[in-house]
């Protein structure tokens, strides 16, 4: 078995085509590095601990490994080690050693991603259409941009803004909570009643923290707000060098970890925001270095350490597309820790542009919790005062650095123009130095608009929004401006109306003071009336290929105000599911703290938050609800979950596909009220969406922006085995729920419709009385057969030519040819769907076999041109830190298929549980397999052999369909290459 890891050879070749290749095997695993898991946990006969024993056995087989990490803190969780082995040592060599139960390559993990808004200003104005045009959705490339200071207010003001220090903070400092995200999720009510997460220990696994920020308590260690943790990597970890661990998780390389820390634990401050669970015991395990690199073995080490340190809750905000459950060691360890009572909360991922069936790891586990992100209903705004008018709200991380009062100047009083201030302002423009200049966004970059204002003497800019897109945080950058704030369109038009009445008397000032309160009486411009409460465009879709649901639920994750490093200004605004996960972790801590006597399990808390959540609509105010594979149970309602005395299992119903329809399921209800309750049932449909835009067979590629099927709000027909249940106090009862898929047209079914909805459970005291409890359990199913989902990409969408094909340089093979055995012959293929088994074999050219895909799919001498060459730059070294990737060779190897009538010479490559490839969002581009073939293959007995010269061969690619039977040849998609031979 050749793992084909050293694809760097390919990237170094001369062909322009290959530069910037996103061949996934190259980017996603640490060369020559493996997890080895031992089968035993007991001491061996020699009295050795089993990990020590297998490591010594590996050495004694002559494999001179370097130890990366050893996993022993909780032996039963994951007993083994990660090692780097010499070139040429394969997973098979390790698996052959007694006592080694499983082997995985060590994955790079994707740097935590903070998606920038699509309207973030770019310095490159040629890119302005993407950057500033409001009609363009947040784009793939912008989603992968590193978190950087453009996101953050860098003007420094007083950071003497903490009201209390940890040791002296009385719970009363947290009452009167009017912070938008807290009001949206009823965390405010918990805070106002003194519930702050006390007694719960939360471990954050992330990039480190600047705890010197006074808003995070200003210190580290016992008695501090950030009171425990560890640094597993140091600043310079590349994944391939030795991580330099120490006991201090301090880092200012990026603001991601500091931001997450504030979402959970910010203390009261002059801005008026706090963390969700600020009285919890909060720690940071730093697992990411300054280049943004981490590896899965470090994640597993940190998970085990956090559990060993007694964390009740673990918050993780990293991952990448995997598609399957239980593929990677981190997924396996998370499920194990949940079984041990640890609440593991993971960000769903920011790959919404990849469309459905892009479940990520480690978010996708059976028992962990996955959190998706939604937009705020109330934006972080400060109050601007207007002379003789009501104040309005503007967006900024801090009050604007603009003392005094300003006259207002609109660069255009026509709100319908689209290119406001994109050209130099006319000479008639008055001196702008004493004015707050109001500009509408659109057409050109913010930088261009700023420059035109600066050229006319302007110092303070308010940028107001176009209709459909919320302005993100803005930054003066190097524009020369003193301050810039954002206005909602509503606030901008309000200001324009005042201006139209009397421009001379309109004066504005930006007093210091806390955020404007969220709520029904919020200032004009605080409520997001266009996107408030909707799912964020970057939020990732489930389900897994097994049709297991994710996400679990949704939390606020866009336009969040939280802490950043002092060097970045102390507070900032960011977006991403990265910040929804710690919100879920904080909410979990509030529940555990409030209900400590109940000893709630992770599955119970997940169910409480999911079944009490509020359904997320598709547009503001709509009664059509987003698909469950995007919102899970919906936006969490934390006070409702705290108060909920009815526990429901399961927390979601997974109905599977048409063939495997799970039509009759149990529903267990536990009544923890002090009185007997009568429960009744109902159901509500959510929007049914198509997995494919047109049809699975013609599109092959999953939709990257799925739309509703023709009958939009159509769910399952839901029936109940009883019309009501009466459950005495403290008891449980189980009933049956029946599901029948909706009626859909043939055209809709061809799109692989995903239908979903909610089963409602309504409880009232049996003795009567008005107290009503309402819960909903999400469900979803696929009204098609997963075996029909296309697996091999046969389109030209990603690369230009149609996959699969063989090529030498830029020349695609269409007939016979002879090539040197130098690895310049490259096998290209791409996965349009996940596959449980993939075999790439060398066969004789005269084999009698017809693939499901024609041998030649491209015309003669097609030149390759990467479609998204500009959007797909060569990966920077830090971006080689890449996604979790399903790469379990185990399943494929454990039971290799013997195809009766397809004689093979040997194996070039094989894998199991492989993920669908990225189309848009892997470092701004797609992934594929580009395997250089130098004639080396693995024989059926495991030896290595070389293809002969002068013999005509083909390669045979086979990929199992999702629910296919691995031993049934007909349930594979297959491609037989054109013939070729090697020269000597
Ligand atoms: C990390 O790298 C930087 C830059 O090369 C160097 O100055 C620093 O000493 C390194 N730190 C450690 C702990 O090796
Ligand atoms: C998930 O939890 C259930 C209930 O505790 C348990 O039976 C099951 O084995 C767990 N699954 C995994 C993969 O750990």
**Tens digits of residue pLDDT in 612-660:** 999 999 999 999 999 999 999 999 999 999 999 999 999 999 999 999 9
pLDDT digits (tens, 9 = 90+) for 438-474: 999 888 888 999 999 999 999 999 999 887 666 667 8
Ligand 2 midpoint to CA 711 (Å): 36
Tell me whether strands 944-946 and 936-938 are parallel, antiparallel or unpaired: antiparallel
234 lines ligand 1 (CB under 6 A): yes
517 pLDDT above the threshold of 80: yes
Q: According to the model, what pLDDT value does residue 913 have?
A: 85
Ligand 1 midpoint to CA 571 (Å): 28
236 lines ligand 1 (CB under 6 A): yes
In this structure, the residue with its CA closest to atom 4 of ligand 1 is 236
Ligand 1 midpoint to CA 295 (Å): 19
Model pTM score: 0.90
94 pLDDT above the threshold of 70: yes
pLDDT digits (tens, 9 = 90+) for 358-369: 999 899 999 999
pLDDT bin (cut points 50, 70, 90) of residue 44 is: low
Average pLDDT of 593-607? 98
CATH topology of domain 646-797: Immunoglobulin-like (2.60.40)
Ligand 2 midpoint to CA 368 (Å): 10
CA–CA distance, 757 with 776 (Å, rounded to integer): 9
Per the DSSP assignment, residues forming a β-bridge with 960 are: 972
pLDDT digits (tens, 9 = 90+) for 707-720: 999 876 789 999 99
366 lines ligand 2 (CB under 6 A): yes
Tell me whether strands 753-765 and 717-720 are parallel, antiparallel or unpaired: unpaired
pLDDT digits (tens, 9 = 90+) for 219-236: 999 999 999 999 999 999
In this structure, the residue with its CA closest to atom 3 of ligand 1 is 236
For 29-109, CATH gives 3.30.70.80
CATH 3.50.30.30 positions along the chain are 381-509
Of ligand 1's atoms, which has the minimum distance to the CA of residue 235? 1
663 lines ligand 2 (CB under 6 A): no
CATH among 3.30.70.890, 3.30.1660.40, 3.40.50.1820, 3.40.50.200 for 153-376+532-594+606-644: 3.40.50.200
* Ligand located closest to 289 CA: 1
Helix ranges, 507-621 (H): 577-594, 602-611
pLDDT bin (cut points 50, 70, 90) of residue 911 is: confident
Average pLDDT of 536-558? 94
Average per-residue pLDDT in the chain? 86
* Helix and strand counts by DSSP (H, E) for the chain: 20, 45
* Lowest mean pLDDT segment, chosen from 498-512, 525-539, 863-877, 880-894: 880-894
Of ligand 1's atoms, which has the minimum distance to the CA of residue 244? 13
Catalytic annotation present for 256: yes
Better pLDDT: 143 or 500 = 500
Q: According to the model, what pLDDT value does residue 769 have?
A: 77
- Classified as helix, coil or strand, 192 is helix
pLDDT bin (cut points 50, 70, 90) of residue 338 is: very high
Q: To 10 degrees, what angle do helices 602-611 and 577-594 make? A: 110
CATH 2.60.40.10 positions along the chain are 646-797
Q: According to the model, what pLDDT value does residue 147 have?
A: 28
Q: According to the model, what pLDDT value does residue 883 have?
A: 24
235 lines ligand 1 (CB under 6 A): yes
Ligand 1 midpoint to CA 633 (Å): 46
145 pLDDT above the threshold of 90: no
Better pLDDT: 950 or 874 = 950
CATH 3.40.50.200 positions along the chain are 153-376+532-594+606-644
| Strand positions, DSSP E, 766-820 | 773-782, 805-808, 811-812, 818-819
CA–CA distance, 231 with 285 (Å, rounded to integer): 6
Asked if residue 329 lies in contact with residue 35, where contact means CB atoms within 8 angstroms, the answer is: yes
Of ligand 2's atoms, which has the minimum distance to the CA of residue 601? 5
* Lowest mean pLDDT segment, chosen from 57-61, 320-324, 768-772: 768-772
Q: According to the model, what pLDDT value does residue 322 have?
A: 83
Q: Name the DSSP letter for residue 984.
A: -
CB atoms within 10 A of CB 544: 25
Return the biggest CA–CA distance within the chain: 92
* Ligand located closest to 236 CA: 1
Percent of the chain with pLDDT over 70: 85
Cα torsion through 452, 456, 461, 465, rounded to 10: -40
Average pLDDT of 562-578? 92
Tell me whether strands 825-829 and 929-932 are parallel, antiparallel or unpaired: antiparallel
pLDDT bin (cut points 50, 70, 90) of residue 861 is: low
Probe target for ligand 2 pocket from 76, 333, 335, 339, with the most ligand atoms within 8 Å of CB: 339
Probe target for ligand 1 pocket from 236, 286, 878, with the most ligand atoms within 8 Å of CB: 236
Ligand 1 midpoint to CA 223 (Å): 31
**Angle of CA points 628, 634, 637, to nearest 5°:** 165
179 pLDDT above the threshold of 60: yes
Average pLDDT of 916-921? 90
Helix ranges, 175-328 (H): 180-184, 187-192, 256-265, 296-308
117 pLDDT above the threshold of 60: no
Average pLDDT of 806-815? 90
Better pLDDT: 148 or 46 = 46
Instruction: Out of 568, 578, 639, 766, pick the active-site residue.
Output: 578
335 lines ligand 2 (CB under 6 A): yes
Of ligand 1's atoms, which has the minimum distance to the CA of residue 236? 1
Would you mind telling me the total number of residues written for the chain in this entry?
Answer: 984
For 381-509, CATH gives 3.50.30.30
Q: According to the model, what pLDDT value does residue 921 have?
A: 84
Of ligand 2's atoms, which has the minimum distance to the CA of residue 367? 1
């Amino acid at each position: 078995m050749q793992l084909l890891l050293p694809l760097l050879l390919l990237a170094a070749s001369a062909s322009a085509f290959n530069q910037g290749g996103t061949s996934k095997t190259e980017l996603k695993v640490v060369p020559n590095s493996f997890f080895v898991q031992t089968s035993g946990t007991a001491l061996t006969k020699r009295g050795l601990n089993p990990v020590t024993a297998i490591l010594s056995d590996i050495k004694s087989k002559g494999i001179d490994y370097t130890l990366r990490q050893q996993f022993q803190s909780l032996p039963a969780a994951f007993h083994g080690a990660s090692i780097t082995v010499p070139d040429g040592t394969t997973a098979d060599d390790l698996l052959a050693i007694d006592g080694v139960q499983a082997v995985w390559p060590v994955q790079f993990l994707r740097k935590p991603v903070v998606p920038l808004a699509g309207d973030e200003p770019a310095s490159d104005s040629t890119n302005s259409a993407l950057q500033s045009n409001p009609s363009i959705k947040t784009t793939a490339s912008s989603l992968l941009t590193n978190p950087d200071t453009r996101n953050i207010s860098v003007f420094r003001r007083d950071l003497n803004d903490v009201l209390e220090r940890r040791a002296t903070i009385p719970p009363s400092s947290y009452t009167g909570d009017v912070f938008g995200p807290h009001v949206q999720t009823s965390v405010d009510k918990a805070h106002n009643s003194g519930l702050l997460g006390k007694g719960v220990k939360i471990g954050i696994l992330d990039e480190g923290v600047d705890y010197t920020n006074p808003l995070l308590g200003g210190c580290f260690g016992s008695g501090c707000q950030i009171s425990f943790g560890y640094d597993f990597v140091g600043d310079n970890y590349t994944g391939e060098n030795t991580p330099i661990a120490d006991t201090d998780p301090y880092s200012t390389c990026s603001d991601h970890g500091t931001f997450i820390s504030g979402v959970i634990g910010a203390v009261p401050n002059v801005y008026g925001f706090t963390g969700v669970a600020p009285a919890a015991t909060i720690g940071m395990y730093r697992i990411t270095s300054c280049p943004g690199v981490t590896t899965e073995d470090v994640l597993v080490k940190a998970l085990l350490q956090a559990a060993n340190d007694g964390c009740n809750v673990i918050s993780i905000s990293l991952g990448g597309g995997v598609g399957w459950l239980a593929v990677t060691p981190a997924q396996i360890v998370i499920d194990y820790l949940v079984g041990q009572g640890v609440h593991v909360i993971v960000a769903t991922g920011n790959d919404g542009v990849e469309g459905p069936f892009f479940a990520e790891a480690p978010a996708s586990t059976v028992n962990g919790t996955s959190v998706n992100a939604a937009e705020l209903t109330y934006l972080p705004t400060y109050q601007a005062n207007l002379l003789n008018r009501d104040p309005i709200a503007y967006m900024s991380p801090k009050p604007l650095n603009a003392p005094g009062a300003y006259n207002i100047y609109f660069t255009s009083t026509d709100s319908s123009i689209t290119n406001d201030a994109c050209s130099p302002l006319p000479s008639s423009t008055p001196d702008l130095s004493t004015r707050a200049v109001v500009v509408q966004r659109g057409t050109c970059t913010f930088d261009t608009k700023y420059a035109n204002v600066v050229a006319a003497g302007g110092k303070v800019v308010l940028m107001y929004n176009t209709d459909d897109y919320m302005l993100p945080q803005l930054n003066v950058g190097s524009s020369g401006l003193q301050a810039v704030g954002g206005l909602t369109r509503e606030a901008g038009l309000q200001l324009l109306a005042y201006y139209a009445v009397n421009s001379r008397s309109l004066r504005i000032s930006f007093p210091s003071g806390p955020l404007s309160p969220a709520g029904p009486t919020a200032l004009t411009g605080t409520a997001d009336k266009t996107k408030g409460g909707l799912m964020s465009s970057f939020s990732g879709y489930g389900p897994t290929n097994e049709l297991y649901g994710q996400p679990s639920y949704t939390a606020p994750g866009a336009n969040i105000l939280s802490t950043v490093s002092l060097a970045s200004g102390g507070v900032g605004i960011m977006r991403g599911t990265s910040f929804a996960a710690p919100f879920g972790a904080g909410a979990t801590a509030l529940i555990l703290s409030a209900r400590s006597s109940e000893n709630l399990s992770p599955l119970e808390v997940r169910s409480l938050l999911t079944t009490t959540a509020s359904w997320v609509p598709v547009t503001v105010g709509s009664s059509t609800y987003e698909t469950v594979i995007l919102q899970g149970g919906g936006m969490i309602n934390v006070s409702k979950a705290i108060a909920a005395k009815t526990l429901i299992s399961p927390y979601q119903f997974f109905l599977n596909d048409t063939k495997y329809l799970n039509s009759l399921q149990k529903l267990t209800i536990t009544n923890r009220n002090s009185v007997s309750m009568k429960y009744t049932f109902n159901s509500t449909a959510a929007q049914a969406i198509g997995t494919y835009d047109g049809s699975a067979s013609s599109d092959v590629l999953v939709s990257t922006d799925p739309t509703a099927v023709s009958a939009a709000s159509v769910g399952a027909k839901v029936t109940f085995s009883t019309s009501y249940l009466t459950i005495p106090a403290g008891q449980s009862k189980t009933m049956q729920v029946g599901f029948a898929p909706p009626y859909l047209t043939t055209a809709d079914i061809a799109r692989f419709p995903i239908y979903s909805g909610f089963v409602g459970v309504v409880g009232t005291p049996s003795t009567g009385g008005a107290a009503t409890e309402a819960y909903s359990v999400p469900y979803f199913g696929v009204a098609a057969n997963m075996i029909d989902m296309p697996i091999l990409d046969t389109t030209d969408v990603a690369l230009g030519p149609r996959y699969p094909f063989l090529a030498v340089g830029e020349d695609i093979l269409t007939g016979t040819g002879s090539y040197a055995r130098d690895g310049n012959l490259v096998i290209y293929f791409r996965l349009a769907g996940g596959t449980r088994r993939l075999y790439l074999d060398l066969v004789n050219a005269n084999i009698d076999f017809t693939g499901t895909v024609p041998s030649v799919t491209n015309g003669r001498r097609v030149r390759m041109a990467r479609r998204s060459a500009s959007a797909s730059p060569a990966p920077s070294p830090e971006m080689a830190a890449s996604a979790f990737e399903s790469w379990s060779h185990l399943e494929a190897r454990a039971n290799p298929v013997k195809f009766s009538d397809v004689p093979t010479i040997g194996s070039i490559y094989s894998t199991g549980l492989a993920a669908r490839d990225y189309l848009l969002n892997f470092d701004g581009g797609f992934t594929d397999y580009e395997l250089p073939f130098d004639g080396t293959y693995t024989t059926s007995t495991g030896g290595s052999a070389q293809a002969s010269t002068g013999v005509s061969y083909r390669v045979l690619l086979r990929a199992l369909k999702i629910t296919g039977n691995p031993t049934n040849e007909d349930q594979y998609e297959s491609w037989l290459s054109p013939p070729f031979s090697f020269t000597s």
